[in-house]
Amino acid sequence: MNMTENKIGFLIVVIIVAIASVGVTYLLVNIFEKKTESKNPYIRLTEVTESDTDPEKWKTNWPREYDSYRKTAIATRTRFGGHGGSESLPEEKIERDPWLKRMFLGYAFSIDYRDRRGHAYMLSDQEQTQRQTKPQSGSCLHCHASIMPLYRELGNGDAIRGFEESYKYSYNELNQKLKDSGHAHPVSCVDCHSPNNMEIRVTRPGFIQGIQALAESDAPMPLPSIEQWRKGSRKEPYEPNKEASRSEMRSFVCGQCHVEYYCASNMKLTFPWGNGLKVEGVEKFWNETTFDNGAQFFDYTHKETGAKILKAQHPEFELWSQGIHARSGVACADCHMPYMRDGASKVSDHWVRSPLLNINRACQTCHRFSEKEIKRRVDVIQQRNFDLLQRAGSAIMALLDAIDEAKSKGATADDLKKAQYFQRKAQWRLDFIAAENSMGFHAPQEASRVLGEAIDYAWQGTLAAFNWKEKTQ
Ligand code: HEC
Ligand code: HEC
Ligand code: HEC
Ligand code: HEC
Ligand code: HEC
């Protein structure tokens, strides 16, 4: 071996070492990046604050979540989910099911009540509905806009106080204020995330007050943090943002809006949860509620029969709470915002929509059946619910016919009290399942139970109307 050969050999070794160390460094950097990525899956390029209701501002830091969030503007359709009708306007529910329209006579819902669609439309659909031809309250905006900064403004910094003032404004007045303050956006990042650390959180006062009343009740709930709070001193109210588990929070964020509520200009927006989330618990809550003039609470007077009726609104959170998935700790976000892979990281799909468009990620993570089989199981549940719903609709139409007939034969309001009492109970139950948007899927057995009761009460009411002359009530 001469010197030149030695030198060349040495050089080769140096080059190999250099290449190897570049490789090792690359690997280490890569591992480090992956670790930080799973812990802190974003690099903050711009600051976002509590007042940044415009999602564009958040896009720079979280482009993947933002991109999927924007897709809520895309039309979706499944057999019962998404919406029919055109892109300019979803289909009328009250025309598809004429018994709905007759049930709502005397109320704005008999004028215009359509299929829901994606989150991107929530504010414009609310502005456009013909229900606005009747005066509506500023409370409507609680669930259709990114409204927290406006609540803080109305309450001089105190959002709850601002919220409690907001029902006194007319819808148009408050919506104008929202526009003037630059916050006229549909549900936005800041509504479900803390801008400081991106943790999910609830912001809506209606939900916070409702869940606190629920915690204070003794209704059994499949929510471990509430059970835990009940065992404590109960001196401080239950605080969902501090006490709820991450899994519970993955449903609470949706429970801010997908719930039964009362919203008008004579009372603040109320989530009726003080006696639990079951249909009769909520009914009891409303029956115990009185207006300022002392009269028993009701939503509207039925135009044909004069009965004081309760209207149910989309109780997804309530029905979900009664099903096997809630009991098993499966959250709304598990099915409606499942993870998608993006390279090495997992991103929650912010294209909130029907999970049936996404069975692979929404269901097959837990259920090891083929997509076809899962779809069939859902079909069976929904078809049974649909059939029972139609029967309950016919039963209530028979009750209305019977009351009309009794009236035509001279029955007075007093003679028909009992029939009206059953109409209120029957309609409340039918509407609870009809207004819920999963066609029974969120809790199939509970949905059948409620519809069974609706049918029973409708026929008891019909009997009472036939026998109006026997004033035994
Ligand atoms: C186990 C999975 C699962 C869970 C958990 C779940 N859902 Fe659903 N949800 C479904 C299915 C399935 C449907 C029916 C979709 C269809 O008919 O296309 C549905 C329908 C809906 C719809 C109507 C969808 C549409 O496209 O019109 C809404 C709104 C909804 N769910 C909200 C919620 C909320 C809020 C929660 C939590 C309180 C929740 N869901 C929990 C599976 C789930
Ligand atoms: C507690 C939250 C909440 C409040 C308050 C609320 N909404 Fe909604 N709204 C929802 C949710 C959730 C949906 C989607 C589910 C559905 O359509 O059943 C919806 C759907 C709608 C739709 C589209 C479907 C339809 O019904 O035609 C309109 C329009 C609408 N709301 C108008 C209003 C008006 C007007 C008010 C005030 C009287 C109001 N909302 C108050 C939560 C709310
Ligand atoms: C309706 C509530 C809601 C809205 C609105 C919302 N998110 Fe989320 N987001 C969630 C939920 C639920 C998760 C899952 C969090 C968990 O499991 O800890 C999530 C997770 C995230 C995460 C953590 C990583 C991931 O993908 O799981 C980021 C980042 C994020 N969202 C960004 C955004 C941005 C940016 C916007 C606005 C364009 C937004 N979110 C709007 C509910 C929401
Ligand atoms: C700030 C109130 C609000 C929050 C929070 C919210 N939603 Fe909605 N959601 C609405 C309204 C309002 C609509 C109906 C919009 C319309 O029809 O214009 C809607 C529509 C939907 C639809 C129907 C989509 C379609 O394409 O037909 C689904 C599914 C849904 N929401 C699920 C959820 C889930 C799951 C969560 C929690 C991760 C959630 N929502 C959080 C108010 C809300
Ligand atoms: C995070 C896990 C998880 C996800 C995601 C999930 N499920 Fe389930 N599902 C369960 C558990 C747990 C049960 C209870 C039965 C059991 O233990 O197997 C269940 C039960 C069911 C049942 C039987 C219901 C009954 O009343 O007996 C059906 C049907 C079902 N799931 C369909 C679905 C569909 C459709 C989806 C997607 C939209 C889905 N599941 C998503 C965990 C999950």
Distances (CA, A) of 254 to 72, 73, 316: 15, 18, 9
How remote is the CA of residue 367 from the centroid of ligand 5, in Å?
7
**351 ligand 3 Cβ < 6 A:** no
d(CA 252, CA 25): 44
3-state secondary structure of 332: helix
Ligand nearest to the CA of 57: 3
Q: How far is the CA of 326 from the centre of ligand 5 (A)?
A: 10
Give the sign of the dihedral formed by CA 192, CA 195, CA 198, CA 203: negative
Which ligand 4 atom is the nearest neighbour of the CA of 256? 5
Instruction: Assign domain 369-466 to its CATH architecture.
Output: Up-down Bundle (1.20)
Residues with CB under 6 A from ligand 2: 113-114, 116, 125-126, 129, 131, 136, 139-140, 142-144, 206, 257-259, 261, 263, 269, 314, 437
Distance between CA atoms of residues 111 and 130, nearest Å = 7
Q: Is the separation of the CB atoms in 50 and 149 below 8 Å? A: yes
**CA 48 to CA 56: how far, in whole Å?**
11
What CATH class does 55-342 carry? mainly alpha
The ligand whose atoms approach the alpha carbon of 108 most closely is 2
Contact 352, 72 (CB under 8 A): yes
Write out the chain's pLDDT in tens, 473 residues.
455 666 777 667 666 666 666 655 555 545 444 444 444 556 788 999 999 999 999 999 999 999 999 999 999 999 999 998 888 889 999 999 999 999 999 999 999 999 999 999 999 999 999 998 888 999 999 999 999 999 999 999 999 999 999 999 999 999 999 999 999 999 999 999 999 999 999 999 999 999 999 999 999 999 999 999 999 999 999 999 999 999 999 999 999 999 999 998 888 999 999 999 999 999 999 999 998 788 889 999 999 999 999 999 999 999 999 999 999 999 999 999 999 988 888 999 999 999 999 999 999 999 999 999 999 999 999 999 999 999 999 999 999 999 999 999 999 999 999 999 999 999 999 999 999 999 999 999 999 999 999 999 999 999 999 999 886 54
Q: How far is the CA of 126 from the centre of ligand 2 (A)?
A: 7
CB atoms within 10 A of CB 155: 17
Q: Quote the ligand 4 centre to 72 CA distance (angstroms).
A: 9
Ligand 3 centre distance from Cα of residue 340 (Å): 13
Domain locations in the chain as residue ranges = 55-342, 369-466
Q: Residue 92 pairs with which residues in a beta bridge?
A: 114
pTM score of the predicted model:
0.93
CA of 119 to the centre of ligand 4 (A): 5
Ligand 3 atom closest to Cα of 66? 38
Ligand 3, atom 14: closest residue by C-alpha:
348
Q: How far apart are CA 179 and CA 142, in angstroms?
A: 14
